Amino acid sequence: MDIREQYKILEFGDLGDDRGNLVVVEGEQDIPFEIKRVFYIYGSDEKVIRGQHANRKAEFVLINVSGTSKVRVDNGFQEEIIELNRPRMGLYLPTMLWKDMYDFSRDSVLLVLSNIHYDGGEYIRDYEEYLKEVKGLEKT
Ligand code: TYD
């Protein structure tokens, strides 16, 4: 499948008024899953690479609520780089996509929503193992 059909760029509405902006993200409405977990990453800089894993069960929506970062997604055949640079922009990542997050601006606050609670066992952190799985090869 074309990688551009695997991830989705989401655009959230703004309920703001002259008091400021207000962005609401509701599970199963603005994003395609029920939200079970929220975490956020800040204090990373342009030298840091985070992520570097794929997930068998976790789906994510990434939102740079402040600042900017880049996400490289890889499905074993193709890769794409997406810049998160607006608080109203979300990036939906399905299971089994390899992802790296990097190029964090100093003021970056990267908010992440997920469909499941944390389970370290559903992570694939070895790229060669990931490639074997997505390419359907037998494990040695
Ligand atoms: P890590 O997976 O390296 O963060 P990322 O890949 O998103 O940059 O997570 C760092 C540590 O935090 C690791 O020991 C696992 C733990 N962790 C949790 O306990 N719960 C979570 O929801 C997340 C994302 C990480």
What's the length of the chain?
140
Helix (H, G, I), strand (E, B) or coil at 6: coil
| Domain of residue 114, CATH code | 2.60.120.10
The helix/strand/coil state of 20 is strand
Bridge partner residues of 121 (DSSP): none
What is the count of structural domains for the chain? 1
Distance in angstroms (rounded) separating the CA atoms of residues 118 and 127:
20
Write down the pLDDT at residue 61.
Answer: 99
Ligand 1, residue 50: give the atom nearest the CA: 8
How many Å apart are CA 113 and CA 116, to the nearest integer?
Answer: 9
pTM for this entry: 0.95
- Gap between the Cα atoms of 5 and 17, Å rounded: 34
Pocket test for ligand 1, best of 53, 55, 84, 116 (most atoms within 8 A of CB): 53
Instruction: For residue 53, indicate whether it is catalytic.
Output: yes
**Residue range 85-98, pLDDT digits in tens:** 999 999 999 999 99
Q: Which domain holds residue 50?
A: 3-139
E-state strands within the chain: 8-11, 37-42, 49-55, 60-66, 69-74, 79-84, 89-93, 98-102, 109-114, 123-124
pLDDT at 5: 97
What are the structure tokens assigned to 102, written together?
A: 């990097």
